[in-house]
Structure 1
Amino acid sequence: MPWPTHTVTNQVPELLDYNLFATDAALATGLEQAGGGWHAGQLARLGGELGSADILQLGALANRHPPELLTHDRVGNRIDSVEFHPSWHRLLGLLRREGLHALPFSAPRPGAQAARAAGYFLHAQVESGSLCPTTMTFASIPVLANEPALFARLRDKLFSQEHDPRDLPMAHKKSILIGMGMTEKQGGSDVRSNATVAVPVRGEGRGAEYALTGHKWFFSAPMCDAHLVLARTDRGLSCFFVPRWRDDGSKNPILIQRLKDKLGNQSNSSSEVEFQEALGVMVGEEGRGIPTIIEMANTTRLDCVIGSAGLMRQAFVQAAHHARHRSAFGRLLAEQPLMRNVLADLALESEAATLLMLKLASAFDAPDDPLLRAWRRIVTPAAKFWICKRAIAFTGECMEVWGGNGYVETGPMARMYREAPVNSIWEGSGNVMCLDVLRALERDPEGALLLLADLREAAAGHPALLALLDALRRDMQAAPEEREALARRFVQRLVLAAQAALMLRHAPRDIAEAFVASRLDADGGRVYGTMGTPALQEGILDRAWPR
């Protein structure tokens, strides 16, 4: 224009073409400590690829063009198909290529769970919706492996590192995805109220074929090649492997009624379905459906923690990048003391979440170790409660660093903020997680004592942390009704103690001390930016996001 009204200045350049792994010191050192350092080279390559402009654009496209339900073809045949933007399939292809759907099972070795968690964490910084079918496929493998005849048919297709988007019977596909269907309209988390019925059609019990009639209120993701589903037999709730297609090439009558119109996670299709005598094969013992499928849910809960930690990392990186390029009142935002306090506080929160998710992943690598079993069984639901809930406030704070530019959909912050609540809800909301922690303590009191002793060893020389652990021990002795009423307080304390112990063991000393002081400070508030250690903040930021 010959009459310009303004010159564009003081706008922050888009964060592109950087290495997500190489710029994350906490992830790299934590991975080494968790026994997955052998995977660092591959993660560095992946981190560079995920940080490229091309791949980052895929995340935006997949959410800008959500899936579309096609119930019928043009001549009226029922097809119950969901169409996705090509970006969705490219993202799933990346996840599959990296083995994030199966790595610890397809190529087991020490540290494989932590290595896989680190890759998942990196992908969560680009796009979250494509993680859903990846997580469910990953979590289904231990359950299906307990069914030798069925698993023999599925193993190669489950382990395949090639994404196959074709909607065909499993026998004709190179790879498959597995979903799950638990909740119904009337129950939500109370799956014992499920009304879907399974009637035997060929044999009875484990490995037999049944016809399922009923519905699922949340069925994710409907284009998976099969789902693990809860349905009721004469002996109670049982678990069934329900394929999308029958062996004879006909479509299994699983009718997609609609896709959920969700707040976030928009690239992924969540649906409501009805079963009209759909074929299912019983997995696990009859009447033991909840214990069978809860093994899958425990693994998906770990992925909720990893995904939320990854989302927090990306939100922090975006906030720090913005603050180092945006000026206000004559100085860069990152040079202003109060903003440094906020950013340093966010950096500590992100590092503690990263260390905790790697610790839990490594605990899944050692199922027979009593202490690590306690970490896995007690701390995983606690971490899902805390990390996933903290991610909501965390992404909001990072969006606020951007100001008005963060609140519009043309940048990444709004999508991250909308994405944050899903992991807090999926696979059990906050109260469900806290009650699960209490159940774990009751079932494994020896493990609980081992866990507290482990945390106490790390807390030596820190009176406030030792006092917190004493309070946890007292809370464990409370009457059942009181324990339940105070469960959120107990779980919050437990996670903070666990994070403090991990920071003291694995983070640089001054950064660990800053975390402990800020999280156990009685004068500290619930918002970020209330730390009382200004001298350390520049070092915290330089470690978290190198200039």
Structure 2
Amino acid sequence: MKNNTQAFLAETHNVENQSGALENYNSFAHDRALTQATRGFGTAEKKSLTEFGQLCGSAEYLHLGHLANQHKPQFKSHDRFGHRTDAVEFHPAYHQLMQSAIEHQLHSSPWLNPSDQGHQYRAAKYYLQAQVEAGHGCPITMTFASHPTLNKQANIAEAWQPLIQSSRYDASNKPWYEKSGLTLGMAMTEKQGGSDVRANSTKAYPVGQPGAGELYELVGHKYFVSAPMSDGFLVLAYASGGLSCFLVPRWRPDGSKNPLQIQQLKNKMGNVSNASSEAELRGALGWLIGDEGRGVANILEMVSLTRFDCMIGSSAGQRAAVAQAIHHAERRQVFGAHLVDQPLMSQVLADLALESEASLALTLRMAQALDNASSEHEQQLLRIGTAVGKYWICKRTPGHAYEAMECMGGMGVMEDGPLARLYREAPINAIWEGSGNVQCLDLMRIISKSPQCLDAVWLEVGKTAKVQPLLQQYLTQTRQQFTQAGTDILRHGRYFMERLALCLQASSLLHQQSPNADAFCASRLQQDSQALYGAFARSIDSAAVVRHASPHP
């Protein structure tokens, strides 16, 4: 009798009414917004994306993202014999993600296989990969974005680019010319300057003959060296001719350690899997890229591409968050019905889904502009669209992640689930590669120097606004407000950023013939639109929007 009682008391409850993990699904095939936006891709590209989506949605691959963040990279300044190594050690999961990303050419495909959809195809793949884990995307992005800058120096590009474009991941810490594949990092920021790189104090001195492609010694410090395990770094330093751009290898050409010395790794709240560091340059050798004094101009295209990848990464974060929230709500029952069918929750989920799809639409529209950059209109649109998209999508992501977390209640804040990591990751892209105010200043600089770029936006949005009255009205008001602002426009930079972002997102959804384009306009462009998610117009069919965004067939 005693044993029976003990057995009965041990059975306190059955585990039920739990959503379970979102895994072993196809993150491409089950993303209707993405498949709709890529419907014009060729058969080979669609097949590749479908296969990649199956990988990115697998339990094993998703677990790599968890492990890479659970085990922080460790800095080892010297080996056990006392030799300076400046090594960073990572969990094997990080290396597996890096290897996969490089084998799938996320760092190189538009340069290796130029096509009229190359950047769009790469953006779609990167979008899937970034939903698994964001931190390793930093060296992938910088390696990808380095190509236009390196191309400004032919002898360096000829020597380095074949290895940068290699589809082999080589994590060994040895001279670049002994490796089968390379990654690049960036070192611009200093303590005293931050985003104001012209306040930098690092100096560069020619070893022999000064000039483009020649070796210099760099002396100074960098407060934020991204991906310090990279094989080379694009660095800004002052030469006699002004602020200049250099490629600084991890090892000297003679095989000795280049004195770019890591001081410590940054202790970041997010992006944990990726190492970021402080470093000193104690006579580090580097090749001058282009002419002296052209540092900012020569690295600008790289910065533009890294900002574009911030758009992809934040859009991916939004998709990952809303997919998790809908998955939970479709399987969790409350008050006699599935959570997804409760009117208040349906409104919130639909609003999150609209935000996510609009972010993806604008990102892919800018990828299309990259693919057609020979067109004057596309080039002008890209200049403003990248600044606007980087500002808006990245800034909207932290609030989006929080709201998705709340949809899952207490389960959302658990560190062994995905939402806590997504939430910590969410602010990173908004701050890196130029914070919000820097993007506003860039927008105002573009409008001042190249007003035709703003005309390109009006033309772009005007084409789609013809079929959407709400967008037409919003566009007309926005144009009037730009005119009326006059010299006071800078003070209201964030306001105008938001107006342009909503115009471009709505236009991109219409351009891609999204079934949710009208719902987005109704929820964002009317006077009674609210800042909080779920407080949009009653006329929107929230259940249909949620079904469209569901990660399940």
Partner Cα separation in structure 2 for residue 416 and residue 479 of structure 1:
38
Which residue number corresponds to residue 355 of structure 2?
A: 349
Q: Does 1:526 align with 2:541?
A: no
Letter in 2 for 1:525: Q
Deviation readout 1:423-449 (Å, 9 max, x if unpaired): 000100001001111111222222321
Offset at residue 461 of structure 1 (A): 4.7
Partner Cα separation in structure 1 for residue 163 and residue 42 of structure 2:
25
Which residue number corresponds to residue 424 of structure 1?
A: 430
Contact 1:26-1:507 at 8 Å conserved across structures: no
Which residue number corresponds to residue 25 of structure 1?
A: 32
Which residue number corresponds to residue 192 of structure 1?
A: 198
Match of 1:513 among 502, 512, 518: 518
Match of 1:48 among 47, 54, 78: 54
SS at match of 1:276: strand
Which residue number corresponds to residue 544 of structure 1?
A: 549
Q: After superposition, where does 1:212-251 map in structure 2 within 5 Å?
A: 212-251=218-257
Partner Cα separation in structure 2 for residue 258 and residue 440 of structure 1:
37
Change (3 A) 1:225 1:36: farther
Contact 1:228-1:239 at 8 Å conserved across structures: yes
Which residue number corresponds to residue 162 of structure 1?
A: 168
Partner Cα separation in structure 2 for residue 146 and residue 236 of structure 1:
17
SS at match of 1:15: coil
Contact 1:242-1:279 at 8 Å conserved across structures: yes
Deviation readout 1:20-67 (Å, 9 max, x if unpaired): 10001211221235x566511101100001111110000000000010
Contact 2:240-2:292 at 8 Å conserved across structures: no
Contact 1:31-1:37 at 8 Å conserved across structures: no
Offset at residue 365 of structure 1 (A): 1.4
Q: Does 1:319 align with 2:325?
A: yes
Offset at residue 105 of structure 1 (A): 0.4
Identity, % of aligned positions:
45
Offset at residue 512 of structure 1 (A): 1.4
Q: Does 1:396 align with 2:402?
A: yes
Letter in 2 for 1:11: Q
Q: Does 1:176 align with 2:185?
A: no
Which residue number corresponds to residue 444 of structure 1?
A: 450
Q: Does 1:210 align with 2:207?
A: no
Partner Cα separation in structure 1 for residue 194 and residue 365 of structure 2:
30
Offset at residue 11 of structure 1 (A): 1.7
Letter in 2 for 1:467: Q
Contact 1:475-1:483 at 8 Å conserved across structures: no
Partner Cα separation in structure 2 for residue 38 and residue 422 of structure 1:
34
Contact 2:246-2:289 at 8 Å conserved across structures: yes
Change (3 A) 1:367 1:8: same
Which residue number corresponds to residue 117 of structure 2?
A: 111
Contact 1:37-1:115 at 8 Å conserved across structures: no
Letter in 1 for 2:438: V
Which residue number corresponds to residue 97 of structure 2?
A: 91
Partner Cα separation in structure 1 for residue 485 and residue 547 of structure 2:
47
Match of 1:297 among 295, 303, 310: 303
Contact 1:216-1:273 at 8 Å conserved across structures: yes
Partner Cα separation in structure 1 for residue 222 and residue 456 of structure 2:
40
Which residue number corresponds to residue 385 of structure 1?
A: 391
Partner Cα separation in structure 2 for residue 305 and residue 234 of structure 1:
36
Contact 2:530-2:536 at 8 Å conserved across structures: no
Offset at residue 328 of structure 1 (A): 1.6
Which residue number corresponds to residue 128 of structure 2?
A: 122
Contact 2:205-2:218 at 8 Å conserved across structures: yes
Q: Does 1:140 align with 2:146?
A: yes
SS at match of 1:252: coil
SS at match of 1:182: strand
Bigger drift between 306-315 and 326-335 goes to: 326-335
Offset at residue 508 of structure 1 (A): 4.0
Change (3 A) 1:155 1:535: closer
Q: Does 1:281 align with 2:277?
A: no
Letter in 2 for 1:514: A
Offset at residue 536 of structure 1 (A): 1.6
Offset at residue 503 of structure 1 (A): 1.7
Normalization by structure 1: what TM-score? Answer: 0.97
Match of 1:15 among 22, 26, 36: 22
Letter in 2 for 1:91: L
Letter in 2 for 1:134: I
Contact 1:514-1:533 at 8 Å conserved across structures: no
Bigger drift between 142-151 and 472-481 goes to: 472-481
Change (3 A) 1:311 1:151: same
Change (3 A) 1:535 1:170: closer
Contact 2:310-2:394 at 8 Å conserved across structures: yes
Deviation readout 1:396-434 (Å, 9 max, x if unpaired): 100001111111101000000000000000100001001
Which residue number corresponds to residue 412 of structure 1?
A: 418
Letter in 2 for 1:77: H
Change (3 A) 1:42 1:471: same
Partner Cα separation in structure 1 for residue 345 and residue 478 of structure 2:
34
Contact 1:21-1:44 at 8 Å conserved across structures: yes
SS at match of 2:331: coil
Partner Cα separation in structure 1 for residue 514 and residue 305 of structure 2:
30
Q: After superposition, where does 1:360-375 map in structure 2 within 5 Å?
A: 360-375=366-381
Q: After superposition, where does 1:496-507 map in structure 2 within 5 Å?
A: 496-507=502-513
The total of aligned residue pairs comes to 545
Contact 1:71-1:256 at 8 Å conserved across structures: yes
Contact 1:36-1:112 at 8 Å conserved across structures: no
Deviation readout 1:365-424 (Å, 9 max, x if unpaired): 122212111221011111100000111110110000111111110100000000000000
Contact 1:264-1:419 at 8 Å conserved across structures: yes
Partner Cα separation in structure 2 for residue 500 and residue 46 of structure 1:
29
Partner Cα separation in structure 2 for residue 259 and residue 481 of structure 1:
43
Contact 2:362-2:509 at 8 Å conserved across structures: no
SS at match of 1:486: helix
Partner Cα separation in structure 2 for residue 48 and residue 465 of structure 1:
37
Letter in 2 for 1:20: S
SS at match of 2:251: coil
SS at match of 1:320: helix
Partner Cα separation in structure 2 for residue 125 and residue 461 of structure 1:
33
Deviation readout 1:159-187 (Å, 9 max, x if unpaired): 11111111110111000000000000001
Bigger drift between 519-528 and 219-228 goes to: 519-528
SS at match of 2:29: coil
Partner Cα separation in structure 1 for residue 43 and residue 392 of structure 2:
27
Bigger drift between 530-539 and 93-102 goes to: 530-539
Partner Cα separation in structure 2 for residue 122 and residue 358 of structure 1:
13
Offset at residue 507 of structure 1 (A): 3.3
Contact 2:65-2:93 at 8 Å conserved across structures: yes
Partner Cα separation in structure 1 for residue 537 and residue 513 of structure 2:
19
Partner Cα separation in structure 1 for residue 159 and residue 374 of structure 2:
28
Partner Cα separation in structure 1 for residue 120 and residue 169 of structure 2:
23
Contact 2:522-2:540 at 8 Å conserved across structures: no
Partner Cα separation in structure 1 for residue 298 and residue 110 of structure 2:
20
Structure 2 residues without counterparts, runs of 5 or longer: 1-5
